[in-house]
Structures are given as structure tokens and as C-alpha cells.
């Protein structure tokens, strides 16, 4: 299994479960430090470290961890990884309390109690700063936060203007190379997630990275827009 997959200049997908079941992303900033997006499930540190090594980086080179949302397969690995990396952790303001309390937002669907079982093991994660919708973070000439609520209240996607790369978080999935909406069972508000994700279609997108699924490279925009339009 590959340790990383390059999406664009300075943007790498790091599979932490199987080849693409759960992904993190490493973005190399202009100062050659790393912005890590998500840290996978608890126990992902080995894979994260090996992946960083494969692109010539160490945990100490990571200067920030951005979280797409407060679910255990995205933030479960933060504390352990951070015992090596000591990076500030940032999340959208509406998911901050879930991260800090180590509790996933309540899913709408009562069946999702099964999922809560997993989240009972969620660790509390200290948050150093929060971001808001449309905020442009000071990485890679501006990394935009796009608030895509519904999967969780503070779910965020990220857009790298420099390369036209969109990191969806769980706003969209691409398992078996088929774009789909967020998995209903895991959403705090599934209807909202379907509405909020529509705005991703307004971006000038070249590549898309998913947390669950393989990337779409080169002119990903047409596929994305076709998907979104078909679901209006
Ligand atoms: Zn999630």
C-alpha cells in the first residue's frame, strides 16, 4: 500500500485505514512546514509518521492540525500523534465543544446509537483555535474554509486556491470511485448536509480529495457539478 498519494504540488493524501477507507491530508506550506488535515482514528500515528517520512517530513515539521469535524475517525488520532508533534489543533467554531468534550454531535437517526458506541471511546481534544466559514487561513497563499454543516454542525471543507484542490471532509464520499452524499446514518442533519454541500459546486475545482474514498484528479469540477446538479 502506498504511504501517500500526490494530488497536486505539495498536497498528499495519507491513507490511514486500508488504501482509501479513511484519509488524512498533508499540505506543504511555503515555509516547507506541514499542515495536516485530520489525524484518523486513534492508533493512526504510525501510518501518519511513515507517510510524512515518505515525503521527507517528520511530525515536528507539522505546524498545524486542521480538523474537518469532531468524529473519532478524524480526530481520534490527534492526541497520540501530538505527543510527537505538539501542533496547535484547529476546528470550526461550531464543532469545538464536541472536540473538547470528546463527544460526537448527536446523529439524527436513532439507529446511529451503534455509531455512538464508537464515539464513547472518543478522547477529549484540546483546541487551540477555531475558524469560521469563508475564513482564509494563512497557509499556501490562502487556504479557504468552507463551512459545510449537516454531517456535523461545524463540519468544514477546505479549498486550496493555488492548485484548485478541494478537500471535502465528510461532506461528500467517494467510496468505490462514486461520489455520494455524506452517509445519512452518521449525520447530525442529513438534509442540511445535502443543501450545504451544493456550494462546493461554485468553486473552480481541479482536484478533489475525500476523507473516505480515492481522489479525483484533473477537471474534477465537471464530475462534481454533474453529481450536485443531478441531486437538486
Ligand atoms: Zn464524520
pLDDT of 70 strictly over 90? yes
Supply the mean pLDDT for the chain. 94
122 contacts 72 by C-beta, under 8 angstroms: yes
pLDDT of residue 154: 98
Task: Give me the mean pLDDT over the 15-44 stretch.
Answer: 97
Instruction: Compute, in angstroms, the gap from residue 217 CA to the centroid of ligand 1.
Output: 23
Q: What are phi and psi of 122, to 5 degrees?
A: -70, 135
Instruction: Compute, in angstroms, the gap from residue 87 CA to the centroid of ligand 1.
Output: 22
Mind listing the pLDDT tens digit for each residue in 139-165? Answer: 999 999 999 999 999 999 999 999 999
pLDDT of 2 strictly over 90? no
73 contacts 49 by C-beta, under 8 angstroms: no
Task: Give me the mean pLDDT over the 123-131 stretch.
Answer: 97
Percent of all residues in the chain with a pLDDT value above 70, rounded to a whole number: 95
Task: Give me the mean pLDDT over the 51-80 stretch.
Answer: 97
- Give the span between the Cα atoms of 167 and 157, in whole angstroms: 6
CA distances from 80 to 3, 12, 94, 205 (A): 19, 21, 24, 33
pLDDT of residue 120: 62
- Give the span between the Cα atoms of 105 and 82, in whole angstroms: 23
pLDDT of residue 119: 64
- Give the span between the Cα atoms of 152 and 187, in whole angstroms: 6
pLDDT of 118 strictly over 60? no
**Domains along the chain?**
5-230 (3.60.15.10)
Instruction: Compute, in angstroms, the gap from residue 183 CA to the centroid of ligand 1.
Output: 9
Which residues, 6 or more positions from 31, have their beta carbon under 8 angstroms from its beta carbon? none
Instruction: Compute, in angstroms, the gap from residue 31 CA to the centroid of ligand 1.
Output: 30
pLDDT of 131 strictly over 90? yes
pLDDT of residue 17: 96
Instruction: Compute, in angstroms, the gap from residue 97 CA to the centroid of ligand 1.
Output: 15
pLDDT of residue 167: 98
133 contacts 147 by C-beta, under 8 angstroms: yes
pLDDT of 191 strictly over 80? yes
Amino acid at each position: 500500500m502506498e504511504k501517500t498519494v500526490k494530488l497536486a504540488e505539495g498536497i498528499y493524501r495519507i491513507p490511514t485505514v486500508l488504501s482509501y477507507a479513511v484519509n488524512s491530508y498533508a499540505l506543504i506550506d511555503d515555509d516547507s512546514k506541514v499542515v495536516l488535515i485530520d489525524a484518523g482514528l486513534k492508533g493512526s500515528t504510525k501510518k501518519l509518521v511513515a507517510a510524512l517520512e515518505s515525503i521527507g517530513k517528520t511530525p515536528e515539521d507539522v505546524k498545524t492540525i486542521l480538523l474537518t469535524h469532531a468524529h473519532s475517525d478524524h480526530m481520534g488520532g490527534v492526541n497520540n500523534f501530538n505527543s510527537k508533534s505538539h501542533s496547535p489543533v484547529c476546528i470550526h467554531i461550531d464543532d469545538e465543544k464536541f472536540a473538547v468534550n470528546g463527544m460526537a454531535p448527536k446523529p439524527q437517526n436513532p439507529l446511529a446509537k451503534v455509531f455512538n458506541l464508537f464515539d464513547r471511546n472518543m478522547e477529549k481534544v484540546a483546541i487551540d483555535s477555531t475558524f469560521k466559514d469563508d475564513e482564509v487561513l494563512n497557509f499556501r497563499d490562502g487556504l479557504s474554509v468552507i463551512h459545510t454543516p449537516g454531517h456535523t454542525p461545524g463540519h468544514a471543507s477546505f479549498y486550496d486556491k493555488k492548485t484548485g484542490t478541494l478537500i471535502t471532509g465528510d461532506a461528500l464520499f467517494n467510496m468505490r470511485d462514486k461520489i455520494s452524499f455524506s452517509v445519512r446514518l452518521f449525520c447530525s442533519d442529513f438534509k442540511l448536509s445535502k443543501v450545504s454541500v451544493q456550494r462546493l459546486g461554485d468553486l473552480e475545482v481541479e482536484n478533489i480529495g475525500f476523507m473516505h474514498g480515492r481522489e479525483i484528479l484533473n477537471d474534477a469540477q465537471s464530475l462534481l457539478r454533474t453529481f450536485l446538479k443531478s441531486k437538486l
